[in-house]
Every structure is written in structure tokens, then in C-alpha cells.
Amino acid sequence: MHRIHTTISQAGHLIQILPPKEGGAERLQNCELPTALCNDDRKYSIIPSVECAPMNHQDDPLNLNQRINQPTAYSLQPIASIHPTAIIHPSAEIGQGTKIGPYCVIGAGVVLGDECTLHNHVTIEGPSHIGSKNTFYPYGSIGQQTQDLKYRGEPTFLEIGNNNCFREFVTVNRATAPHEKTVIGHHGNFLAYAHIAHDCIVGDHVIFSNNGTLAGHVIVEDYAVIGGLSAVHQFCRIGQYAIVGGYTKIVQDVPCFMIADGNPAVVRGINQVGLERHHFSVSEIRDLREAYKIIYRGSLNTTQAVDVLQQQYPDSRLIKKLLEFIVSSKRGIVR
């Protein structure tokens, strides 16, 4: 279906209609919409349902309502809802069905996907590429430059997936090194005042409780949970399905499937409730419980524990993932 693109004024109103390549709508170009539509703060696309007959000389090109209401002419479809007080850089790209609330600021180089919602006073700076169906609550600051003192103004990036929720005052920074990027996956829930620093890589289905904070270059794997008022040291990793408890200080890697809590952090056990909720089998959870005992409750050091588990559980996919995480650790694991 052919779409006629439109432009919007600073007040968010449609002011121009570009004609299709064929057909007789040429005289609609550069014609303003009726006042009733111009008072609407949405951006529109004019979509012909069928081929339109050429306009004759008696047709009034400004009488769009008559033509729009004809089934063989054009139908009016909203592209984005933009409040008149929002400030949007001309280079920003706004997706279809996206809603931008009062006093939001969208900077240069921002690509905002379809059906996103920005409540009031949200700031998004670029270069940032944001997927569809993301929700940003008031006073979030997304895509600002890194706070790293090494930054010298080089182009760096932020990439956010789909279906994430960023609550009030969440901050996400772009990367530091030239052409590098901070990455957030899909279906994340970032509660108020959470902070994701430069060059972090955050996976899918994560939860950051209030004031959950990442330093630079941290990796958070899928389904991990960061507790409230917790902080993760730079270059640390949080494994998949791991939980960091509230008020916890993380200075080493938290292995997959484990619960780390305290200051200094200590691994307290496996995330059994989380694993059950995600439908891991009884035998898989039992194997992880035994692995926890060997690593954390026995007399073996980490290297010895890894060797024993490799021999005892050669076919367990979860034990394999756990051991791969431990062996690849550069900072050591939380004990």
C-alpha cells in the first residue's frame, strides 16, 4: 500500500502532503489541513485505499475531509502523537504510533521505534537507536554522553531493543571509545533511579530495582535481577538468572543461577525460586544445588571444583553454562 509521507511543524502539526508517484493528487502538495486537524497534535500519513481518479478542475484541493471520507480516496492514519511543547531535532526519526509527551527533548541522531511512549520531561540524546514499544517515564535521561573522564567527544552510540520499561529518573549513557556502544536488550524493567553506565551490555528480561547501578563495561546476562541500592564495579559480569540482593556491593563476577548478597557480597545459594518460575526441571535444579555445594561449601578451590563438576556432570547444559562462566571470569567470582 502506497504511503504519502508528511512533515510536521514545530508545533507538531502536519503542514505538507507529498503526492504519490501516480494518480491525480498532485494538487494536494503544500496544502494545509483543515483547522480541526491542525489543532490535533499528531503526525499523519495519508494512505490511499484504492487507486484514486485524477482530480478535475472543479475539485477543491483544500477540501480534504470530503476526499478522505470517500472509501475510494484517502484515509487518515496517525503516525506519532507529539505534544506541542516537545522539542525534536530535525534529524531524529520517530516511529509510527509513538507518543511523545510534554516537554520531552529528542536530540540529534535519535532513532525511536514504533509504538514507544515518552511521558513528560524525558530526554533522549543520540546517536541512539531505540526499538519499538519502549516506555520512558518522567525525567529519564537516555543516551547522554559517558561520564568517563577519558571521553574526548568522539562519536559513540547507544542501542536499546524492544519492550523495555524505564521508570522515573533512569539514566543510560553512551559508550566512551570511538564507535563503541552501550547495549540494552529486550523486555527489561528498569525501576526509578537505575543507572547504566558507558559500554555496558545488558541482556533480555532483566530487572533493575530502584537505584540499581552499573559502572562502566559491566555485562548483565538474560533474566538477571539487580536489587535496590546495589552497585556493580566496572568490568564485572552478572550471570544469567542470577540475583544481586539489595544494598549489595559487587566487585567480582556473580555466576549464573546464583544469589549474591551483602557487603562484601557473598553467594548465598542458587536462585531456586527464579529457576522454578522459569520452568527448569527438578533434576536440573537439583544438579545446580549440588554444584553450589561443591563450589562454595566444600574444601576445594575454584579450579578443583570445576574439574570435579566437569567429570560428574558432562551432559548437564546448566552445569556446562555455569562452568563456562566461571572459567572465562577475568576478575574472579564472588565467593
User: Which CATH number is 279's domain given?
Assistant: 1.20.1180.10
Q: Is 113 within 8 Å of 106 (Cβ atoms)?
A: no
**Catalytic residues, which ones?**
198-199, 216
AA letter at 173 = N
Task: Give the pLDDT mean for 286-302.
Answer: 97
* For the ranges 19-33, 36-50, 290-304, the one whose mean pLDDT is highest: 290-304
Distances (CA, A) of 89 to 124, 139, 297: 11, 18, 57
On average, the pLDDT of the chain sits at 84
Task: Give the pLDDT mean for 319-324.
Answer: 98
Do 61 and 102 share a domain, yes or no? no
Do 123 and 211 share a domain, yes or no? yes
What end-to-end distance do the CA atoms of the chain give, in Å? Answer: 59
What's the pTM? 0.80
Give residue 258's pLDDT band: very low, low, confident or very high (50, 70, 90).
Answer: very high
Inform me whether the pLDDT recorded for 104 exceeds 70. yes
Inform me whether the pLDDT recorded for 179 exceeds 60. yes
Do 212 and 319 share a domain, yes or no? no
Per the structure, how many domains does the chain have? 3
Q: How does DSSP classify residue 153?
A: S
Backbone angles phi, psi at 65, to 5 degrees: -60, -40
Residue with cell 514504533: 114
Inform me whether the pLDDT recorded for 27 exceeds 60. no
**Angle at alpha carbon of residue 253, lines to 247 and 254, rounded to 5°:** 60
- Which one, of 113, 78, 106, lies nearest residue 92 by Cα? 106
Do 101 and 176 share a domain, yes or no? yes
334 lies in some domain: no
Predicted local distance difference test score (pLDDT) of residue 73? 38
Do 204 and 108 share a domain, yes or no? yes
Neighbours of 324 (CB within 10 A): 13
Inform me whether the pLDDT recorded for 8 exceeds 70. no
CA distance 151 to 140: 22
The parent domain of residue 207 ranges over 87-217
Distance of CA 305 to the CA centre of its chain: 37
102 lies in some domain: yes
Task: Give the pLDDT mean for 261-269.
Answer: 97
Weakest mean pLDDT among 14-23, 89-98, 309-318: 14-23
Inform me whether the pLDDT recorded for 312 exceeds 70. yes
Strand partners, 333: 253
Inform me whether the pLDDT recorded for 139 exceeds 80. yes
Predicted local distance difference test score (pLDDT) of residue 192? 98
Residues 113-133: pLDDT tens digits? 999 999 999 999 999 999 999
**Angle at alpha carbon of residue 309, lines to 308 and 312, rounded to 5°:** 90
Predicted local distance difference test score (pLDDT) of residue 79? 80
Domain termination residue (choose one: 217, 241, 262): 217
Do 100 and 200 share a domain, yes or no? yes
Predicted local distance difference test score (pLDDT) of residue 78? 61
